[in-house]
Structure 1
Amino acid sequence: MGRIFAVILWLSVLVNVIVAQKYTPKDNILLNCGASDPQSTDTDGRKWNSDVGSKFLKSSKGSSTAKAATQSPEVGEVPYLSARIFESNFTYSIAVAPGRKFVRLHFYPSSYSNLNSSNAIFSVTAGSFTLLSNFSATQTTEALNYEYLIKEYSVVVVGDSLSLTFSPSSNYTDSFAFVNGIEVLSMPDLYDNADGPTLVGGGLSFPIDNSTALEGLYRLNVGGNFIPPTQDTGLYRSWSDDTPYIFGAAGGTTSVIDPELNVTYKSLPEYTAPVDVYSTARFMTMDNKVNVNFNLSWVFAVDTGFTYLVRLHFCEIFANISKPNQVVFNIYLNNQTAFNAYDIIPLKMAMGFLMFRILW
C-alpha cells in the first residue's frame, strides 16, 4: 500500500500562563528493546519497559538482544543503547484498543554483537501498511548528519492488536534488522476536516480515513524553540526550531504575543498543539513596499512520488491587529497557489481566537 507523508508546519502564539488540556491516551506503550533492566527512565522522565519476556513477544525465536558497542555523547542511554536484532522475519503483536495510533520507531546505528550496522537493511510493516522498505538507518543518519533516528507514523488499528513485522532484505548478503525502541500511543483524530484537505492545484478534497496511513516528517515551532515530547499535549510529539528550514537570508522577524492577549482554543481541542507553539510567530514587515521584494519561505527535503499533507496553524498575536484587511497574504506550496488573500481575522471571528486549516 502506498504511503502518505505528513509535513507539518506551525505558525504560532502566547505568554500569559495558560495550560492546554492534555490528551490522555488509552494506549501508551514504550518498549526499550533488548534492555536487561525491566524498566528504565529516559532523559525526559518517561518510563520504558524492556521487551525481554514481554507479552508483546509470542516468542523470542528468530531474534537476539545486544548492547551498542559505542555511545555518542548526543545519544541517550534509553532506549538507544540496547537493541533487538532480527536475522529473519520477526513480528511484535501489541495488544491495543482499536483506533488511530502514533507508532514511533527508534534507531541508533551502532555495532551490535559484532554485526556491521551497514548490513542492517530491512523493511517494517504495521498490519497492511508498509512503514519502511529496504531501509538503512546507517545510510540515513549519515546523509542527515544525525546520530540516531525517530521514524513516526500514524496508522489505524481495526482489531485489538497491532502487528509490527521486521524483515531483513533479501536483496543484500548478511542483511539483518534491528530496533532500539518502539512507542505505540493512542491519538485523537487530528486530521479530521470535513471532507478532508484540499489538493493544492487540483481543488479536490482527499478524506483521511481508516485506509490512510501517514508518516510525520517535519513538525516545527515557527519562531520558537525546540519543544520536547514531555511538553507536548499528551501526544509526546517533538517540535523543532524552524530556523534551519528558512530559505535564504530573508527570515522575517520573530515575536511573542502581546501580554494583554490570551490564547483561546474555543473551536479547537486543546491537545491540537501546546500553548508554547502558539506563543511565537515569524512574520514579514508592515511595509508593503518592502514585502513585495521577498517571500518568507521554508524548504524541506522530501522524496518524489508521494503526496504530502501540510498543516498550517495561525493565531493573531498583536493586539492592534483586530480588523479584516489589516494583514492579508498569499500562501504557496511548491510554487502552487494554496490560498490567495488569506486573512486570519474573519476566520478567527467565526471559529474562535485560534484556528487552523489543512492543505493538501
Structure 2
Amino acid sequence: MESIYRVFDMIKNPIHTSNQQRPNFCPNYQPFILWCMRDKIDTLTQNLARTIVGKNEAIRLVLVALLGGGHALLEDVPGVGKTLLAKSLARSLDGKFQRLQCTPDLLPTDITGTNIWNPKSGEFTFLSGPVFANILLADEINRATPRTQSALLEVMEEHQVTVDGVSRVVPQPFFVIATQNPIEYQGTFPLPEAQMDRFMLSLSLGYPGATEELKMLQNLQKGVSFTDLQPCLTLAEVAELRKICSQVRVETSLQEYILELVRSTRQDEEITLGVSPRGSVALQKATQALAFLLGRDYAIPDDVKFLVPHVLCHRLITRGGRNPRTVVERLLRSVPIP
C-alpha cells in the first residue's frame, strides 16, 4: 500500500527532488546511467515548469507521450498555454522544431513536401515539408481540411512520407504535438477517427488557479520567457529513454486489465465506435512511460487508471452526444482491478 500512496503523491507533485527514489532496473543499463537519465528528466520537467506555471500534470502527460513513442493532442479553450507548452518542449530538446499553422487553404504538399522542376539540372528536386523535423507543432489542426489532415496519417504511424511513389523517412525521434480549440466551430473541421486514433493521448490544460495566474503575471513582469529556455535533453537521450521505458515490466494480469477496459468500450451500448487495438498498444506504452517517470521499473493498476481517460476518450464515438469521459469513468468502475 505504501507504494500506491507514493504514486498518488508523485502524480500530484510530479517534479522530483534529488532525494527521491530513483529507478533501479533494466539489466541492460547500469544504475548510474539510469540515475543520470532520471536527473535529465527532472531537469526537463523543471525547465517546462518555468513557463507552464501550475500545470505539472499536463507536463507529465506530454512527457509520457514523448517517452512512450506516441503523439499528443492538446484540446482546450484559447489562451491557456497549449502552444506555449509545445514551444517550450521544443526549446528544451536539442532537435529540429517545425511549426505548422493549419488553415483551410493549407495543402497536403505544404505538409509533406513536393517535387519541383530544376531547370539547371533538368530533373525534379524534392523540397521537404515541415514534417521533416524531430518535433512538429500542428497548431489549430482542426482548421485544416480533412484532405490536408490526412497528410499526417502516414508520417504519424510509419514515420515516413510518400510523395510521387517515393517514401522518405523523417528524422528520429519524431514527435507530433497538435492543438485545437474545441469551442471554435467557425472555419473548423472535426478530426477524422483515423487521425484521432494516431494520438497516444489527449489532454486539457484548463484555466490556472489564482496563485498560478498571479505567478504568470509576475513572470511576465520579470521578463521570463520560453525563449530563455536552454536544451537539456539530446535526441540520442530521448531515443535511449524510449528504450528504457519499453523495458518497464507489465505483468500479464495488468495486460489483461488493459484489454478488459478496451474491450468494454467495444461492447457498451452508449458507444458506437470503441477503442482499436492501436489504443491497447498506446495504453500499455503510456503506462510503461508513466511508471518510469514515477521512478518504478514496473507498472501498477493505478498507472492505467490515471491514463485511461487521456488515452481512450478521444478515440470514442458515443451515442446521443454523451460525454466520453463520463462513459469511460463508468467503465473504469465496472472492470475489476487486478
TM-score range, shorter chain: under 0.3
Larger radius of gyration: 1
User: Which structure has the highest strand share of the two?
Assistant: 1
